Structure 1
């Protein structure tokens, strides 16, 4: 029946902007390709919320088709004052429609019209058809569409809070009817849309006039009879502007839209598309919220033949076989192996873990260097078998690593997804077999498990030659066989070695931090004049904005915001704001790092065994997880002090650390062949001071202040990461215009860098990819896209990937060579950690003089560049001291 039909109309353009600025955490919200995703994340959240609260039967998301509309035909400066869309939002723009489509909705844009006009047209049509209509927008102009059947919800804070407008609430708030909002705009104009209105007439005066005269037309019929005033003079002088502004503010409710109302019926979500979208955007939370069934993920497979072995003999092995070891836990340092399979083209075998671990025949085959093994995730396999007492060797091929080398798209830990990328579909994704989340478990039917692990061993065999051929075709066999595969063995060794952590020191720190937090809490209470729960945003809001009378900056559903950005703005006028910020920072260090690290110490070894993820990033950089030791905050002294707990494993041993100095900028100098940048590095100048002098026209190095150097540093690194004027303005707290001036001057002073950027983009457009110095590729499918935003993002990626990727490659070469040299020289030193551009070792005190010479030598000679690679080293009793 018609009364049950509900049309939800979303102003896509307005909500996309609101989503972007409402969740302005550009560093946190990025996917594995470096694409910013903050606006898409917030947009997805509001759509989820609207589906839940509004339960629409029909849905349309309307977008602006472009800057030129029928309004610009009669007023050229319409919306002329608006700044260019930040590139960080522009690159997300094409994906909004992908998301809407996956959610079962329709998106639409119409040349020569705005989203408002599309919404107005469908709202009026739907009302006639008996629909209930709800409009969601960030633009108050749309309140003119409110009627007995149409409600207009305006975003208040970002996109998370909405304020509903109905004819009744508009009468209550403004004392006028919804359509009179158009007349109000005619009088007061609109700065955001850049139309004039009448000089000196704001909303207040406009409302007063409308309450008296009813409409713009009626005001001008009576203007002559008004008593003499400045307002009357302005009304007469700006009559043309007033009617022009009213025309511009009027939403066209009869546009030639094509989709019928029936075609806007909300369809079922396309689970496959949503899974694909959430994976691409790295939206793990939304992915977990999807209730995936076996039917969503399962496929028909060919029959597989395998032999279950209860007693293993040497006859079960040949000279070249695949091996697959299955464990359900992500953290394989603590997990339990559930099944093992191995085989060649003739035979596939499956055995229970206990059978394998008690077999001398299996151990001898696994540890025999001459017996070649093909595996999936060599590092994981080595570590898992090490804990079972088997030191595997002879790993000749790793399917996961080969796939990653060919195309650096991360497919997580699931072998089936990697196989699918290379055209092999005869293996199931793990979620179908084991379930997910709390329900994840070994299947009750043993045959289901055995068949699954056997299929994995077979997939490794089937993919082997195909992947080798692809590596050769890409000229990547050296990258794979000389760098990635040997590195997996180095990383496995580092993970098994682990790093000793003194729990007592962390416990002392925990006590100290607890006392400090209590002290800080006490001081906050004194400043506030009363006791309250410092961890309660609601109570803090009452203290700051009601009791202390500070001016609120943002509003939330529960009151006024006390978020970090708000407190930072308040800190200059109220000491309590800075006190709260300091308190929160220390509390996070306490919970995430001090307490978090204590939980990660392995009781059997007294060490932390972080896991290195070799196949995650598009640039080839390593990641660290469970725990992430690359992310311990070191800007705060308290954060740095956490490193005091990381010590050498034996009495009389030291921690030794070596760090590449400005490796990315040195690689930029080498790749770009820019004379000025090369000269600065060859002459050993401080690159940021050198840049400051060139870009800001300073002749004397003494005149380069810390602040000026900081700005130059932000520009230097910003250029490497393809920063926009908007991004740089945010980093430095300056205007976009000023930021653009910095970027322009930089290119003027470093013309080689500008030439490199232009040539690498040209090359990417011709080949579809860019490469590091070691032929690591990054494919850029959007580099020739007709969509400006997609193309721009791909261009920036083309510029920075060879630099970041080459830096990652250099440190990998250094790690492999370092492990070899430690062995060659018969040193006791262990390589423990890799953190960004730094390598951390432990060694006996007497080996320190050897490492001081050896490590920089190996690291600096890892690759030959036209500028010197410089390594800085230090040592001490803990990582902190080193």
Structure 2
């Protein structure tokens, strides 16, 4: 019979190690995932390498344990768990359930005690035991059959403590680890020990006297009068500290070893959870998903493939589908068209349609109504082929997105399936994927596309009912539908790029990189590969002696957050950070932009994602023009490469000033905020005055900086931990700052309380224009899940309403430009900014028109304010 192997994991310890070892990560829903990710990496490694027959993860049950009866200040110095970590624990438990791994916690005891008790029982029953933790206290459990693995350098690198290893490392036995803790104490657990006794002294004393009791009975034999006095004075404290450090191995654990048998994980549940959390690399690690099941028998359809396209096949109302398989529809081929109307079900082959005068006339006829899926994609792809699609009255994609933005829309099939339409096959199963991807014969292709148009007809009715029921039809019809066509126009227009200027910038950055590289090598005293974290770590932490703040599985951490904290310690750090920033600019933005410039137009044609974010904000891809870094001068200069497409034109940019804070003032109806905005005050200075109780001339730049951080932090539901990280202050100071802010602005505090109550009542929040975001987690019994949901409820109406306002401004601007017959073109929307290209002779008109239109997009209790600038490049329009 194979030997049984039990793995016991210290859940809290590993989760903490993962959280602080990895940078904060978020999934698409905004949930922090770094601790879950690190925990999962460790778990996968353990399963792969240890191959346990039995497995358990132990958690602490609460803050109070039997040790607090001995010493009430036990673990008293620990800071409150950051909410960014707390919200991840429910997912870690869900992960363990998906993996079918037992988990256990016990009131009045710590995870250490559960592990200590079960490891002893297992050893007695002949098991091999492996303990995994980040806490060296557990090394006291080590024996001939119990190995304690302590994580180091991150999460997955584990140092194995056997009795031999402990002897080699400390010259002690595992049992003496308890005595060592008793003497030296443990600041992390607030175990006092004997003041002045560190690890080296403790080890030296234990080698001579074996344990704390022998030592205290033989104090007169200890060398050094001062040490003797300390041991006599703190005798009781040493004994108590040893008691606190001793892991209980007879805890009343009510779980049998036989219940811990591990038989493998539930693949589907694990894959689903990885998808929800956005763990793409872990999905790939688990391998491809199981083959898609054979599609159900499709209902037969009566498709007509005409020999010639004539006006007779079109009707006043048409369900029109354009099939494009590539996400980047700007350059992808159209596979075909399907139309369903009261005259029949038609498939139109691509070339036949594009060469048909009747098709072009119908497509461009505004009176011929068209129901489509993804109006923007359909319009852009046809416009590239000389056809301007008009008469679109309904977009299934946009309607579906508005009804519930939390649902991921991958393709038409995902929408149809979600709303219960069965007679349709997924593109993946129809066309195949990877090397097997192909276009089936025309008869099959025709049926596939026509089924989509039929589904569209059925879905449109259902979606319209839902929109009207939710009071969202106006949002759909008057905001999102017109916007999709404006975005199509912007995408097709594109933005002119000065390629020569980009090349020149690339050369300038290269020269700076070489110069900084030489300076770094000079400061280091030797040449090394700056892009190698391993080589850089050795230079910084071994040769230059800087304190290593964090470890990874491959060595010292040289991440940006680590380097930023070390910046005051050595001038080389600032150079390294600059080198990295310039390197990223070069690869991501200079070279990246050059790759996507259309050789025919000399422009970049970004794609705006209108149905992606849960707040309603737009994003852009290929390239992402909303994320060009502007903190570094060289980053700002990249905007110099964006120029007008016509001679004698300029770039005109207009952006909302502090729009989210103005929306907050309106929604919260806070008198102080409203008054400040109405009087045109510097809102951050005003906040500093209110929070610090000082006059305007007493506000320092640091006070204003802190006020600014909390102003914007409140909008994003910031926690004391998040604010402390932003400002470099303690969590206690950050917490007091937030409390003072809420005391100064009672309307904001009342809004936060009211919105949480309403969300619990309704299950969703809405923006000023009735955009919804469902937040079912707000009624969760789990405190951490509920807390995250409450922050989301507070933030979404603010962010979402700001997004609605700028979308409304885009529509109003398009109308204003058209009505005045101006040549000015809207090119981009970047967060709260609109960017135009315009003839110089229209600038005087725009200086009045643009702010007027944008500031009147939506009436609020406070004035909206728009700043503008213009110049020969986007960089100059600032």
When normalised by structure 1's length, the TM-score is 0.94
Choose which of 333, 337, 340 in structure 2 pairs with 1:336.
Answer: 333
- Cα offset, 1:430, TM superposition: 4.1
User: Using the alignment, how far apart are the partners of 1:432 and 1:855 within structure 2?
Assistant: 49
Q: Secondary structure at the match of 1:30?
A: coil
1:566 is displaced (CA, Å) by 3.5
Match in the other structure for 1:596: 592
Within the alignment, does 1:162 sit opposite 2:158 as a pair? yes
- Contact persistence 1:643–1:880 (CA under 8 A): yes
Residue 364 of structure 2 aligns with which residue? 367
Cα distance between partner residues in 2 of 1:540 and 1:668: 45
CA contact (8 A) 2:817 2:824 kept: yes
* Segment of structure 1 superposing worse, 626-635 or 555-564: 555-564
Could you tell me which residue of structure 2 aligns to residue 103 of structure 1? Answer: 99
How many angstroms apart in 1 are the aligned matches of 2:269 and 2:505?
A: 47
Distance 2:495 2:658 in 1: 26
Q: Say whether residues 1:392 and 2:389 are aligned partners.
A: yes
- Decide whether the 8 Å contact of 2:152 with 2:159 is kept in 1: yes
Match of 1:415 among 412, 415, 430: 412
Change (3 A) 1:276 1:348: farther
The Cα of 1:391 is off from its aligned counterpart by: 1.9
Q: CA deviation at 1:611?
A: 0.7
Q: Which range is displaced more, 372-381 or 676-685?
A: 372-381
CA offsets 1:838-882 (integer angstroms, 9 cap, x no match) = 000011111111111111111001001111111111111110111
Match of 1:272 in 2: 268
SS at match of 1:571: helix
Name the CA shift for 1:168/1:598 in 2 (closer, same or farther; >3 Å).
same
Q: CA offset at residue 422 of structure 1? A: 2.8
In the alignment, what sits opposite 2:843? 848
Q: Aligned to 2:569, what secondary structure does the other structure show?
A: coil
**In structure 2, how many angstroms separate the alpha carbons of the residues matched to 1:508 and 1:125?**
71
SS at match of 2:337: strand
Q: CA deviation at 1:368?
A: 2.7
Aligned counterparts, 1:143-154, within 5 A: 143-154=139-150
| Per-residue CA distance 1:785-815 (angstroms, 9 max, x = gap) | 2211111111111111111111000000000
Gaps of 5+ in 1: none
String of CA shifts for 1:130-157, please: whole Å, max 9, x gaps: 4433222111111122222222221223
Distance 1:570 1:794, change over 3 A: closer
Aligned partner of 1:634 among 630, 633, 639? 630
Q: 1:224 offset after TM fit, Å? A: 7.3
2:12 matched residue in structure 1: 13
Quick check: 2:154–2:552 contact (8 Å CA) kept in 1? no
- Classify the secondary structure of the residue corresponding to 1:572: helix
The answer on whether the counterparts of 1:304 and 1:455 sit within 8 Å (CA) in structure 2 is no
For 1:698, the equivalent position in structure 2 comes to 694
1:804 is the counterpart of 2:799: yes
* Alpha carbons 2:303, 2:447 under 8 Å: kept: no
Compared CA separation, residues 150 and 390, structure 1 to 2 (3 A): farther
Given the superposition, is the C-alpha separation of residues 266 and 384 from structure 1 closer, same or farther in structure 2, using an over 3 Å criterion? farther
Q: State the partner residue of 1:2.
A: 2
Indicate the SS of the match to 1:602.
Answer: coil
Conserved? CA contact 1:320–1:371, under 8 Å: yes
Q: Is 1:625 matched up with 2:621?
A: yes
| Contact 2:375–2:395 (8 Å) recurs in 1 | yes
CA distance in 1, matches of 2:10, 2:295: 39
Task: Pick which of 816-825 and 425-434 moved more.
Answer: 425-434
Q: Map residues 214-363 of structure 1 onto 2, 5 A cutoff.
A: 214-220=210-216, 222=218, 229-295=225-291, 300=296, 302-307=298-303, 309=305, 311=307, 312-344=309-341, 347-363=344-360
Task: Using the TM superposition, name which of 362-371 and 655-664 deviates more.
Answer: 362-371
Cα distance change, pair 284–339 in 1 and its aligned pair in 2 (3 A): farther
**Structure 2: 5+ residue stretches without partners:** none
Q: Distance in 1 between matches of 2:588 and 2:525?
A: 30
Counterpart of 1:745 in structure 2 is 740
SS, match of residue 79 in structure 1: coil
1:792 has 2:792 as partner: no
Deviation track 1:167-222 (CA, whole Å, cap 9, x = no partner) reads 11011111122222223223333222223334443333332333233334444555
Counterparts in 2 of 1:74 and 1:465: CA distance versus 1, 3 Å: farther
- Describe the shift of the 1:569–1:226 C-alpha distance in structure 2 as closer, same or farther (beyond 3 A): closer
Alignment partner of 1:646 out of 642, 645, 651: 642
Asked if 1:22 corresponds to 2:21, the answer is yes
Question: Within 5 Å, which residues of 2 pair with 1:67-78?
Answer: 67-78=63-74
Which residue does 1:813 correspond to in 2?
Answer: 808
Shift of 1:642: 0.4
Matches within 5 A, 1:67-216: 67-216=63-212
Q: For 2:402, which of 400, 405, 419 is the aligned residue?
A: 405
Q: Mapping of 1:706-745 within 5 angstroms? A: 706-745=701-740
Question: What is the alpha-carbon distance in structure 2 between the residues aligned to residue 228 and residue 634 of structure 1?
Answer: 61
Is 1:539 aligned with 2:538? Answer: no
2:379 matches 1:382: yes
Q: Which moved more, 1:473-482 or 1:380-389?
A: 380-389
SS of structure 2 residue aligned to 1:762: helix
Distance 1:866 1:178, change over 3 A: same
Count of residue pairs the alignment pairs up? 876
Does the aligned pair in 2 maintain the 1:306–1:350 contact within 8 Å?
Answer: no
Aligned equivalents of 2:449, 2:55: Cα separation in 1: 44
Between 622-631 and 43-52, report the one with greater CA deviation: 43-52
Cα gap change, 1:389 to 1:684, in 2 (>3 Å) = same
Shift, 1:693, TM fit: 1.6
Q: Would the aligned equivalents of 2:153 and 2:550 in 1 still touch at CA under 8 Å?
A: yes
The 3-state SS of whatever aligns with 1:373 is strand
Tell me how far apart the structure 2 counterparts of residues 623 and 580 of structure 1 sit (CA, whole Å): 31
Equivalent residues of 2:549, 2:562 under 8 A apart: yes
Q: 1:493 to 1:206 in 2, by over 3 A?
A: same
CA distance in 1, matches of 2:48, 2:432: 26
Cα offset, 1:503, TM superposition: 0.6
Aligned in 2, Cα 1:586/1:816: closer, same or farther, shift over 3 Å? same
Q: Tell me, in whole angstroms, the C-alpha distance in 2 between the residues paired with 1:740 and 1:846.
A: 53
In structure 2, distance between residues paired with 1:439 and 1:259: 50
Answer with 124-133 or 457-466: which moved more: 124-133
Question: What CA distance in whole angstroms lies between the structure 1 residues aligned with 2:271 and 2:509?
Answer: 42
Q: How far, CA to CA, are the matches of 1:126 and 1:310 in structure 2? A: 76
Q: Does 1:880 align with 2:856?
A: no
Distance 2:101 2:353 in 1: 53
Structure 1 residues 398 and 103: CA distance shift in structure 2, 3 A: farther
Q: How far apart are the structure 2 equivalents of 1:256 and 1:455?
A: 63
Change (3 A) 1:249 1:341: farther
- Counterparts in 2 of 1:302 and 1:215: CA distance versus 1, 3 Å: farther
Q: TM-score, normalised on structure 2?
A: 0.94
Kindly state the Cα deviation for residue 772 of structure 1 after the two structures are TM-superposed: 0.9
Deviation at 1:552, TM superposition (A): 3.9
* Distance in 2 of aligned mates of 1:592 and 1:186: 54
Q: CA 1:346–1:222 in 2, change beyond 3 Å: closer, same or farther? A: farther
Question: Is the contact made by 2:113 and 2:251 (CA closer than 8 Å) also made in structure 1?
Answer: yes
Cα separation, 1, equivalents of 2:200 and 2:257: 39
Contact 1:694–1:749 (CA under 8 A) maintained in structure 2:
yes
Q: Secondary structure at the match of 1:153?
A: strand
Q: Give the Cα–Cα distance (whole angstroms) in 2 for the partners of residues 148 and 16 of structure 1.
A: 28
Compared CA separation, residues 554 and 632, structure 1 to 2 (3 A)? same
Q: What SS does the corresponding residue of 1:183 show, helix, strand or coil?
A: helix
Q: How many Å separate the matches in 1 of 2:472 and 2:739?
A: 37
Which residue of 762, 774, 783 maps to 2:778? 783
